[in-house]
Structure 1
Amino acid sequence: MPDVLIVYASRDGHTRAIVQRMQRRLDGRGVEVRLVDVDSASDLDPSAFRVVAVGGSVVYGKHDPRLASFVADNAERLDSCQTVFFSVNLIARKPEKRTIEGNVYVRKFLDALPITPDHVEIIAGKLDYPSYGFIDRIMIQLTMKFTDGPTDRSTVIDYTDYDQVDAFADKLQAMAEETSAVD
Structure 2
Amino acid sequence: MANFLVYYGTGEGQTAKVTDRIAERLDERGHDVTAVNASKSPDGISVTAFDAVLVGASIHGGKQQQAVVRFVDANRDALATKPTGFFQVSLSSADERGEAQAAGYVDGFVSETDWHPDRIGLFGGALRYSEYGFLKRLVLKQIAKRALPDTDTSRDVEFTDWAEVDAFAADFAAFAEGRLGVVPPVSDPDGTREESDE
TM-score grouping bracket, smaller chain normalisation: 0.7 to 0.9
Deviation at 1:127, TM superposition (A): 1.6
Query: Which residue number in structure 2 is paired with residue 111 of structure 1?
Result: 111
What is the CA deviation profile of residues 65-95 of structure 1, one whole-angstrom value per residue up to 9, with x for unaligned ones? 1111110011111121122111000111113
Asked if structure 2 preserves the Cα contact closer than 8 Å seen for 1:4 and 1:49, the reply is: yes
Decide whether the 8 Å contact of 1:130 with 1:154 is kept in 2: no
Which range is displaced more, 173-182 or 123-132?
173-182
Secondary structure in 1 matching 2:48: helix
- Where 1:59 maps in the other structure, the secondary structure is coil
| 1:83 partner letter | T
Q: Is the 8 A contact 1:53 1:83 kept in 2?
A: yes
Distance in 2 between the 1:176 and 1:103 partners?
23
Kindly state the Cα deviation for residue 158 of structure 1 after the two structures are TM-superposed.
1.0
8 Å Cα contact 1:51-1:175 kept in structure 2: no
Deviation at 1:103, TM superposition (A): 3.0
Q: Is contact 1:50-1:179 (8 Å) kept?
A: no
Q: Which position in structure 2 is the counterpart of 1:179? A: 179
Give 1:51-90 correspondences, 5 Å limit. 51-90=52-91
Structure number with bigger Rg: 2
Q: Matches of 2:5 and 2:49 in 1, distance apart?
A: 9
Q: Secondary structure at the match of 2:56?
A: strand
Q: Does 1:21 align with 2:21?
A: yes
What do the CA deviations read for 1:32-56 (whole angstroms, capped 9, x no partner)? 1110011315232213222211112
Would the alpha carbon gap of residues 102 and 158 (structure 1) be closer, same or farther in structure 2, given more than 3 Å must change?
A: closer
Write the distance in 2 (CA, Å) between the matches of 1:69 and 1:150.
Answer: 37
Count of residues in correspondence between the two structures: 181
Q: 1:45 corresponds to which residue?
A: 46
SS of structure 1 residue aligned to 2:105: helix
Alignment of 1:102-141 (within 5 A): 103-141=103-141
Q: 1:64 to 1:135 in 2, by over 3 A?
A: farther
1:114 to 1:178, Cα distance in 2 relative to 1, 3 A: same
How far apart in 2 are the matches of 1:157 and 1:21? 18
Cα RMSD between the aligned structures?
2.3
User: 1:156 aligns to what?
Assistant: 156
Partner of 2:145: 145
Matched, 1:169 2:190: no
Q: Runs of at least 4 residues of structure 1 off by over 4 A? A: 150-153
The residue type equivalent to 2:64 in the other structure is: H
- Structure 2: state its 5+ residue gaps: 183-198
Kept in 1, the 8 Å contact 2:2–2:32? The answer is: yes
Counterpart Cα distance in 1 of 2:2 and 2:129: 39
Of the structure 1 ranges 90-99 and 163-172, higher mean CA displacement relative to structure 2 is found in: 90-99
How far apart are the structure 2 equivalents of 1:133 and 1:62? Answer: 22
CA contact (8 A) 2:14 2:126 kept: yes
Ranges in structure 1 where 5+ consecutive residues have no aligned partner = none
Identity percentage of aligned residues? 32
Residue 154 (structure 1) shift: 2.5
Amino acid paired to 2:127: L
3-state SS in 2 of match to 1:88: strand
Q: In 1, Cα distance between the equivalents of 2:28 and 2:152?
A: 39
